[in-house]
Amino acid sequence: MADKVGERRLAIRHEGQRMFDWMAFVLEYEGAVPYQVGSPMHLASPHVADAYATAARWIRNVRIEREIELEIPVETLVFQDKDDREIRIEYRHLWSEAHLVVDGELTERFSQRDFNHLNAVVRELADNFYADRNLWRARM
């Protein structure tokens, strides 16, 4: 996707063999980035980066932990909430739902794509004022 940091798009130039020669030059000059889950700074789930940005608005010191569970990459947002509990929001690669785990106990499942819900959950965990008044949570 073009909206990800550090990515550029190049229009294909030329036709036929000249096009392939041009592509070979670009790949040799720019280098290719192989898909390799677990490599440094690589996220398997496209939703984790957006989830991190959402959580980081409300919580300081959010970190991402990565592990392989039954050959499936699991990327987890980890932070302490306002009550000093360990919060883990787990994203399993190719699953549709995220898991909210509070002090080791699964408390909620929600769509990995539902950033409005994620925002509401994190905001509630971060701020006492919104714990009772959060409009997103009240709609559920």
Please tell me the predicted confidence (pLDDT) of residue 3: 45
Domain range annotation of the chain: 1-33, 46-138
| Assigned token pair, 93 | 């690669």
Question: pTM to 2 decimals?
Answer: 0.64
**Backbone φ and ψ of 33, nearest 5°:** -105, 110
| Mean pLDDT in consecutive groups of 10 residues from the start of the chain, 140 residues | 54 87 80 53 76 85 87 89 93 90 94 90 74 46
Picking from 48, 40, 56, 114, the residue whose alpha carbon sits closest to that of residue 75 is 48
Element (H, E) at 126: helix 115-126
Alpha helices in 4-67 (DSSP H): 16-30, 46-56
Picking from 79, 71, 93, the residue whose alpha carbon sits closest to that of residue 121 is 79
Among all chains, which residue has been given the structure tokens 């932070």?
79
